[in-house]
A and B are shown apart, each in its own frame.
Chain A
Amino acid sequence: MANLQSNFLGIKSPNPFWLASAPPTDKKINVLRAFEAGWGGVVWKTLGSQVKNVSSRYSTLDYNGQKVMGFNNIELISDRPLEINLQEIREVLKLFPDRAMVVSLMADNDRKSWHELVKKTQDTGAHGIELNFGCPHGMVERGMGAAVGQDPEIAKMVVEWVMEVAKIPVITKLSPNVHSVVPIGKSVIKGGTNGLSLINTIQSVTGIDLDTLVPNPNVGGKSVFGGYCGPAVKPIALKMLTTLAQDPDTRNIPVSGIGGISTWRDAVEFMLLGASNVQVCTAAMHYGFRIVRDMCDGLSNWMDEKGYTSTSDFIGLSVPKITRWEELDINYHIIANIDQSKCIHCGLCYIACEDTSHQSISIEKGMPYNTYTVKDEECVGCNLCKIVCPVDDCITMEEHRKGPEYLNWIEFQKRGLPLNDH
C-alpha cells in the first residue's frame, strides 16, 4: 500500500489533500467536520482587518446541464472577529494534532499590522502561515490582496516584514491575475518566503441574467467582478504551476497546487507538474467534505499500480515533458483511424473536420446510417475528430512518421525543407 503521508515545508499531514482558505475552513465546526471526513490539512480562511460581506455572493458557469464548471465569488476575507478565529484554531489543533493547520493572513498594508497578525497567529500553535496576496475583489481597493500580489516590489516588502517575526513556515499564495506568476514568485522568494501556493481566483464575470440584464451574482441590481475557480480554471493553474517549475530561480521552492482540483486525478496532475501537495475549495463546496475519500483511495490505487511508494516518487515527473514549440519533432505524424465496429454513425467527426478542419473524412450516405472513413493522405493528425467522437477508443490516432529521425523546426528551416503546398 502506498504511503500518502505528506511533508510540506516540514508541516506533516496524513495525506496531501488540504482544504484551501475559503468558506470550508472559516470556522471550527467546518474544520472539525473536514478532519473527521479525512482531510489532511486546512488553510484557515484568511484573517485580517474587520470586513463586511454582501448577499448574494456566488454565481457559476454551467454547461450543457452540467452544474458548476466554474465557480465565482465576491466574498471578502473572514468577516468573523479575529479573536474568535484564533481561539477556534487553538481548539481544533488540540483535537486534531496530526493534521496540518495553516492560517491565511492579509493584514493592513503596514509593517506593524503584519507583525501583530503574524505573532498572534503563531501563538495559537498553528503549523504555518499563508500570505493572501491574491484576493481579486473587494480587498484590492483597500490596498490589500491582489494589489500586493500584482506588484513584485510591494509583495517582496510585505514578505520581508513577515519574515522578520515568523517562526513557522510561510507560504505565499500567488494571484493568477498577472501576465506571468514568475516575476512575483522570484521576488517573494528573494523576500524570504519558504514556499508558494497557486492559484487564487481569476477575475471574472460569469454571466448575465437575460431578463434583468444584471450580471451574476446580483446584489440589489448591481454586480462586481468576482473571483473565478473550479474545474474550468484547472488548465490555467497547471500552466502557471509549470512556469514556476521551468524557471531556474523558482523551480526549487516547494509549491502547494490549487485551482479546479475535484478528483485524485486532478491532484496527481498538479503533482506531476511539481506541486508538493494540493488544496481544494470548489469541489468541496459543491459536494461536501466526503469527496476526500475517493481522493485518497484513488491516489493510493494509482500509486500502487504505478509502483510508487510515496508521493515524492512522482512529483515533477511531467515537467520535462513540456518543452518549447521549436523543439517538437516535426517528423512525428499521426493519422486518425475509425474503428467501424465501434462507430455509431453520429457524423460528429465528419462535420467537425469538414467545416472546421481539413476535410479529411469522407461520407458515404446510407439510410439511416452514413459510413465515415478517414482520408489518410488528407489527415493532419489534429485530434479534433477523436475529441468529438462520443465513443471511447472508436477513433484512434495511429503513428505514421514522416521520417525516421527527430527533426525540429529550427533544423527544418536550416535545411530549407518545403512547406505545405495546400
Chain B
Amino acid sequence: MSEYLSAEELKQHFSDIHPPFEHAEGAILEANRCINCYDAPCTKSCPTSIDVPLFIKQISSGNIKGSARTIFSSNIMGGGCSKVCPVEKLCEGACVYNLREEEPISIAKLQRYSTEKAIHEKWSLFERKPSNGKKVAVVGAGPAGLACAHALSLEGIDVTVFEKEGKGGGLMTYGVAAYKVTPESCQDEVDYITSIGGIDIQYNKELGKDVTLAGLQKEFDAVFVGIGVGVARELNIPGENLKGVVDAISFIYDLRTNDYSKITVGDKVAVIGMGMTAIDAATQSKRLGAKEVTMIYRRTEQEKPCTDVELDLAKLDGCLFEWLASPKEIIGENGKLKKLVCSKMKLGEPDSSGRRAPVDTGEIFTIEVDMIIKAAGQIPFEELVSGSALQNKGGKISINTSGETNLKGVFAGGDAVNGGKEVVDAVQAGKDGAKGILQYLKLSY
C-alpha cells in the first residue's frame, strides 16, 4: 500500500482545479468578451436552458444580483453546476468563439462568480408563495430532489424530503471529485436552496426501510422519487471478491466523507472504465499518493465516454492507459491482490450505442496491481424500485412526458430514471417533475 503524503501535499493535490475570478475586473473583462448571441447556442446547449448571454451582460453592467437570479431561476444548483458541469460538451463547447478557433467565453467561471457571491452573502432572490396546504414528499436530497423541492416550495407547496444519508446534495456531496467541490460548499448550497422555506429535509430516512412508497402516497398529495443510482457495476470475473478490489462509488464516498489521510490507496492501481467516475477514481488515487495508476478500457480513445478535458486531466496527473483491454481475471496470492489479467480487444461492427463494439482477440496480457477500482457504470436500485411496484427497465424507473411513473401521483427523475448522467440533467429532471406535479395538483396548466 502507498505511503501517506503530508497534509500539505494532500491539501495541494485536492485544491480547486478551476479557481474562481479573484477580482471583479477579471470577471468584467471576460464578461465583455461575450458578444451576446441571439438564440444563443450556449443557452441551447444547457440542459436547464440558463439564459447565458443575459447573466453575462448582467455581470458586465454591475447587476450581479440580477445575474445570480437569472442563473438560479433556470438552475437552482447553478452554483454547484458552475464547478462540476462538463462545460466543454455543454455551453462552452457550443460558444461561437470555438468557430473562430478562439477560446470560448469562460461561462462556468462567470457563473461561479455570481452564484458564489449570492450563496456567500445569502442573497434572498426568490419569495415563496403563501402555503396552499398541499403536501409533497421528495425522496432523495440529490440535485433532482432538491431542484424539485425548490420549484414546488416556490409555488406554496409544503415539501418533506426523505434522505437516507446524513447530508444533502446527493452525489454532489458524496460522488463528485474532491478537487471540484468541497463538503462545505455543498452544505452551503443545500442551505441556500432550502432558505426559501417550506422544505423540510428528514435525514437518515431511507425509502424501503424507514418509509414506504405506499405510505408516502397515502400521507402526501404527490411523491417525487430522485434516489439516483447505486454502486458500480459488477465485473463478473474470477477474483472480484478479493480484498483490494473496490467499487469506485464507495471509494469516492470514503474520500468525500473522511480526512484524506485516512483513505487507503494502493501503490499500483488499476481503474476499470473510462467514464467520468473512472477518471475521478484514477485522478484522485494518484492525488492520494498512488505510484502507478492504469486505466483499463475496452474500446479506443475515440469511443471513450468521458470528454477530452477529463481525459487530459488524467493524463496530466500521470495516469497510464490500456486501450482495447477487458478485465478477464483477478489473481491474488495469500489473500493479497497481485495481478490483473486482461483480454486484448479489437473493434468490430457498431453496436446499439452506434460505437464500434469491442471484440476479444483471444490474446491476453497481465499487469501487476495491488488495488483495483471498478468504475464501469453504476447499477440502479433494482430491488427497491421493483419492490415498490414502479415500472422500470433494469431498475431505471420509467416515466411519461410529464415525469409521472406508472403509479398515480408518483413522479421520478434524475439518475434514477436516466441511469446516470450529469448534475445539470438531474436538476432539469427535478424541474420537470415539479412541473408535472403542479399540473397533477391543478396548480398550473
Contacts and interface: CB of A to CB of B under 8 A. Distances in A.
Contacts of B107: none
A351 B35 contact: no
Interface residues of B, number: 20
A127 B39 CA distance: 61
A365 B40 CA distance: 11
Interface in B20-43: 28-29, 31-32, 35-42
A187 to B, nearest CB: 46
A189 B45 CA distance: 66
Interface residues of A, number: 18
B237 interface: no
Contact of A347 (B29, B32, B37, B45): B37
A345 B41 contact: yes
Contact of A390 (B35, B38, B44, B45): B35
Given A65-B60, A368-B44, A346 B35 contact: yes
Nearest to B36: A348
B100 A391 contact: yes
B32 A346 contact: no
Given A65-B28, A370-B39, A345 B44 contact: no
A348 B100 contact: no
A367 interface: yes
Nearest to A389: B35
A348 B28 CA distance: 21
Contacts of A344: 96-97, 99-100
Interface in B48-92: 60
Contacts of A347: 37-40
A346 B102 CA distance: 14
B94 interface: yes
Nearest to A367: B44
A368 B38 contact: no
A345 B28 CA distance: 24
Interface in B318-361: none
A265 to B, nearest CB: 23
Contact of B38 (A64, A348, A367): A348
A96 interface: no
Nearest to A348: B38
B32 A65 contact: yes
Nearest to A346: B37
Nearest to A66: B32
Contacts, number: 44
Nearest to A63: B32
Nearest to A391: B100
Given A368-B44, A391-B100, A348 B37 contact: yes
A18 interface: no
A313 B36 CA distance: 44
Most chain A C-beta atoms within 10 Å of own C-beta, residue among B38, B41, B44, B45: B38
Interface string A356-386: 0000000101011110000000000000000
A350 interface: yes
Most chain B C-beta atoms within 10 Å of own C-beta, residue among A346, A365, A370, A391: A346
Contacts of B40: 346-347
Contacts of B28: 65
Nearest to B62: A210
Given A368-B41, A370-B39, A65 B96 contact: no
B96 A345 contact: yes
Contacts of B60: 64-65
A346 to B, nearest CB: 4
A364 to B, nearest CB: 11
- Minimum-distance CB pairs A-B, first 6: A347-B38, A368-B41, A65-B32, A351-B38, A344-B96, A344-B99
Contacts of B99: 344-345
A265 B96 CA distance: 31
Interface in B80-126: 94, 96-97, 99-100
Nearest to A343: B99
B266 to A, nearest CB: 43
A351 B40 CA distance: 11
A66 B32 CA distance: 9
A369 B38 contact: no
B22 to A, nearest CB: 17
A365 B45 CA distance: 14
Contacts of B96: 344-346
Interface in A29-80: 64-66
Contacts of A369: 41, 94
